[in-house]
Structure 1
C-alpha cells in the first residue's frame, strides 16, 4: 500500500459546522488515514500490526495483536457505517490476518496470535478478543460469512478462550460478553455463550451506583471506563441483538449519565483529564455516540456532533498523530505519565471506539443538523453527582469544565493504601485544560499533612455528604515508607462551586497539634523558569497561555508560594503549583482551614481577594461573598452541612 494513498482532508464546512468545521466526511477521511498508516506496520500475512514504540508488560506478540484488533474495530465502524463499502480494501486485509493469526495460536512464529489465558497470565488477548468479535459482528457479511467453515471453526475456538478463562475483576467481564454476543449472532451460541452474557450483565448490575454511573469493578473507581466500556459493550450488544428488554433497562441509565458527562467536554473539544487510559483520547466520546445511535441521549443532534467532532479535532490539531500518521502514546504528543504498565504501541487505538459515531446513518440529524453549542457553553453550572462522588463545575464564558473528586479512587476493596497514590485519581480536582503533576513532583489540588519531612497522600476517597452545588469526603492521610501512622487521623474536605470560584474547606481530625498542613491549587504548564505573581502577598496567581490559576487562603493559612513541578503535566513539560501552608492547632477552630481557588480561561481574571471572607466559630465556617450572599459550612454535626443564604 502506498504511504500516502488518500487525498488531504475535506474542506471545512463552516455552514453546517460553524464551531468545528467537521462533517461526516472528515470522520471517514480520518478513519482512512489512521488505517492506512497503521497497516503499513502489518506483518506479511496481516495477522499482527507491530507499531513502533516500547512494548507493554504483555510483550511484543500481544502488542501486535492489540494493534490488529483495535484497528480492525476502526475498519469495522468505517465499513459498516458505509453499508459495507470498503473502497480501500481494508476488510480484505483484516480477514486474511484473522485467518492467519488463528491458524496456529500460541506458536512462536511471525504471525500466530497468542492464546487467551487468565488475567495476569497472558490475559491481554482477552481484551483484544472483544474488538475482534465486535468487528466481526458488525462486518459479518463481508468478513465472517466469506470464510470457509474450517476457518470459522478456528476463529471460534480462539475466541472461546475468552469464555473459558478468568477476566480481571472489572470491566473485563464485558469482553467475554461481547465475544459471546458475536458467537450467538453467528448461530454458534450455546450454554457457554449464554453464561458469559448473563454473568457479565449480573456483575454490571452490581456495579451500578446510580445517576448513570457504574463503578469499574468492586469499589469506587469512576472514570472514562464508565462511558467507553461499562455503557458501551452491554448497550451496543443489546442494540445489535434487538433486545428490547435490555435496551429499556440500560438505555435510560446512559441518558442519565450523559446529562452530566456531556458537560465534561471543553468548548475547545477536550474531554476531562481524569482517570487511567487517557491515551485513548477521543474514545471519550463513545458514550455520546452510543446515546445518539440508540436514541438514549438528552442532547440535541447539533450538540451531539459538536461534542463528537470537537474532541476528534482537538487531538488531531494538537499533535496526537506522529509524522507518519500513527497515534502516539500520550495525550497530545508522547507523555509517559499518562500511560500505564499495560500501555503498548497499539493501545492508543482504543480511540477507535469514538468512530462508533459512523454507525449513525449519514441521513441522521446528528450529521445533517447545524452544529450547535456544546453543553459546557451554556450558563454556569454546578452539578453534584453524589452516586460517583463527583462535582461538575462549568463556566460558559470560557467553556472550561472542572471535576471535583469526592468519591472516585482506583483501589480494590481489600487493597492496602500506599503512598504516593495515583495522581489520575487522588487529586481533589481535574479539568479539561490542566493535568495532574507527576507522582514524584509536588501534587496539585491536594491536601497533605507533613511529618518527618514527608507529606501524606490521599488514596481511598470516602463520600461524606452532598448538596446541589457541593460535595464532601474524607480520607486517611497515608505517609510514604518511613513516615508515621497517625491513629484515627482523617482529613475531611468540602468543595462548593460558585461560578468560577471554588470554596475549599478542610478539617483535620485527630491530627496532633503542631502538624504542618499543605494545600495546593491548579497546576499550570508554563515556560521553564516562569514565576508566579502575587496580589500584595495575598494570593498565588499563575497566568498560563490558556488558563489562570489562583489560590487564596481565607482562614488558617500562614504562608503561600508557587512550587516548581519540573516533570510538568500532559499540557506542558514544566509547571508551577500554587500552595498554602498552615499548622494544626489544639482548639477546634484551629483544625479548620478555608481557601478560595479558581481556574479560568478568561483573560484578566480579577483577584480573589475581595471575592469572599471567612470567619470560624468552633467547627462552623461562615463565608460572606462579595455580592452579599452567605454560606455556612458546619463540621460540628458529625456530617458536614451547608446552609446558603442568597444576597
Structure 2
C-alpha cells in the first residue's frame, strides 16, 4: 500500500462508531482521486498532510484507547461502585439462564466482583501521573480496594460467600488472578486484617473437590496465589493441574477441557490465561519448570494466532460452544499476550487493538446488552437470555472485562501508538498479501 493511502487510513480507522472498522479501512484504501491539473499548492498541502502523519497516528491510538477505557468503565462501574458502598447485594439484578441450577444469591455476587476486577487489574496497576485518566484510575482503584475489604468483612452487607456451594472456588480463582496481576496496586495496600480474612477464606475452599476439567486450574490458582504471598500452600493441587492440563493438550494451540474435547472458548475464558499465570508463579518461586512455562506460552501464542484469524472483517466471530455470554473474555489469550509483549511474530499489536475495538463495538453498542440501570444482560450481542447456560446469572457476565487487559499498557506503548492495522481476515477478503497459516507441533 502506498504511504499516502496508509496515512489516510490512520485517522479513519480510529473513529469510534462512525463506521464499521472494515468499512473505514476500505474507504481509506481507495485513495484520492488524482486530477491532472493539480497545482503546486495541492502538492504542498499533501506534503503537509504527510508531515502530520505521526500526529494522526497518536490521535488514532488515543481514540481507540479512550473508547476501550470508557467502555470498560461503563461495564464495571455498577459492580465496583456498589461493592465499595456495600450495596451490591441490594442493587444488582439476578437474571438467570433457562434452567439455572445454582443458588443464585449465594454465588452471583462473588462472580460479579471477582471476575470484574480481574479484568480491571492491569489498568489499575499502571503508575499514577498527572493525566485525567490517572485521576480516574486512582478513584476506581480506591473503590476496588474498599470493595475487597467489604467482601471479606463478615459485618459488611456485601460479605461474599466463600463457605458454601462449589461455585465460589471458580470466582475466588479470579480474585486471586486479580492479586497476581496487580500485587502492588491491589494486594499490598490492603490492611493486615483484610489480608488475613482473604487468606482464611481461600483456605476454606479446600473443602471443595474440583471437577475433572478446567476446575483443576481454579484450585491451583488459589494455591499459587497463596504461594506468591509466602503463605502455606498445597503443592499437590498445582502439580495435578499442571500434569492434567498438559495431558489434555489436543494440539495446534488447543487444550481439551477434561478428557473429551469440545469446541468452545474455554481455552480463552480459563485454560491458557490461568495455566500460564499459575506456571509463572511456580517458576518465580522456584517451584516449577521453566520448560513447562515456555511450552505453555508457545501453545498460547499459537492459539492466539488462530483467534486473530477467526475475527471476521467486520469484527464478528463464530458464536459457538457454551458460555458465549462471556463475550469479550473469549479473546483473553490474545490481549493477555499483548499485555505481556508476548504476541507471536505473525501478529502486530495494532492488529489486536483494531480488531478488539471492532468486536467491542459490535457487542456493546447493540441495544439490550445493558439494561436501563447499566447492568449487563444475558446474551452474546444484545439481550438474548435463551443462549445462557444453566450456570449463568448476571454476575457471571462480568468476566467480559478480561477482554480489556491491554489497557494495562501505557498510552505510549506501540499497542496504542502504532498506526491502525488491518487484521488477517480483512487482508484475506480484500485480496491483500497475507502470511500462510500452518499447524504447529509443540
Match of 2:371, SS state, is coil
Give the structure, 1 or 2, with the largest relative contact order (CA under 8 Å, sep 6 or more).
2
C-alpha offsets along residues 433-459 of structure 1, whole Å, 9 cap, x if unaligned?
A: xxxxxxxxxxxxxxxxxxxxxxxxxxx
Task: Please state if 1:225 is matched with 2:266.
Answer: yes
Q: Structure 2 vs 1, CA of residues 252 and 83 (structure 1 numbering), >3 Å: closer, same or farther? A: farther
Task: Please state if 1:268 is matched with 2:314.
Answer: yes
Per-residue deviation, 1:348? 1.2
Other-structure match for 1:578:
none
| Structure 2 unaligned spans of 5+ | 1-8, 16-20, 25-59, 285-289, 432-437
Aligned runs of 1:329-348 on 2, under 5 Å? 329-348=378-397
Greater mean alpha carbon deviation, residues 19-28 or residues 152-161: 19-28
How does the TM-score come out when normalised to structure 2? 0.74
Higher helix share: 2
Match among 332, 335, 341 for residue 286 of structure 1: 332
Distance in 2, matches of 1:312 and 1:362, equals 19
Per-residue deviation, 1:40? 5.1
Q: Structure 2 vs 1, CA of residues 322 and 239 (structure 1 numbering), >3 Å: closer, same or farther? A: farther
Distance in 1, matches of 2:149 and 2:397, equals 24
Greater mean alpha carbon deviation, residues 38-47 or residues 305-314: 38-47
Match among 14, 18, 25 for residue 17 of structure 1: 14
Other-structure match for 1:358:
407
Q: Structure 2 vs 1, CA of residues 269 and 110 (structure 1 numbering), >3 Å: closer, same or farther? A: same
Whether the 8 Å CA contact 1:116–1:124 is kept in 2: the answer is no
Match among 370, 379, 387 for residue 419 of structure 2: 370
Task: Please state if 1:65 is matched with 2:110.
Answer: yes
Higher strand share: 1
Distance in 1, matches of 2:158 and 2:397, equals 22
Q: Structure 2 vs 1, CA of residues 82 and 207 (structure 1 numbering), >3 Å: closer, same or farther? A: farther
Query: RMSD between aligned alpha carbons?
Result: 2.9
Other-structure match for 1:136:
179
Match among 146, 149, 160 for residue 113 of structure 1: 160
How does the TM-score come out when normalised to structure 1? 0.52
Whether the 8 Å CA contact 1:285–1:307 is kept in 2: the answer is no
Other-structure match for 2:204:
161
Per-residue deviation, 1:335? 0.9
Task: Please state if 1:174 is matched with 2:217.
Answer: yes
Per-residue deviation, 1:281? 0.9
Task: Please state if 1:211 is matched with 2:252.
Answer: yes
Match among 337, 360, 365 for residue 312 of structure 1: 360
Other-structure match for 1:98:
148
Whether the 8 Å CA contact 1:45–1:96 is kept in 2: the answer is no
Aligned runs of 1:303-452 on 2, under 5 Å? 303-319=351-367, 320-379=369-428, 395=429
Match of 1:209, SS state, is strand
C-alpha offsets along residues 581-607 of structure 1, whole Å, 9 cap, x if unaligned?
A: xxxxxxxxxxxxxxxxxxxxxxxxxxx
Other-structure match for 1:621:
none
Match of 2:389, SS state, is coil
Distance in 2, matches of 1:352 and 1:264, equals 20
| Structure 1 unaligned spans of 5+ | 1-11, 380-394, 398-467, 470-647
Q: Structure 2 vs 1, CA of residues 75 and 291 (structure 1 numbering), >3 Å: closer, same or farther? A: closer
Per-residue deviation, 1:286? 0.9
Question: How many pairs align?
Answer: 364
Q: Which has the larger radius of gyration?
A: 1
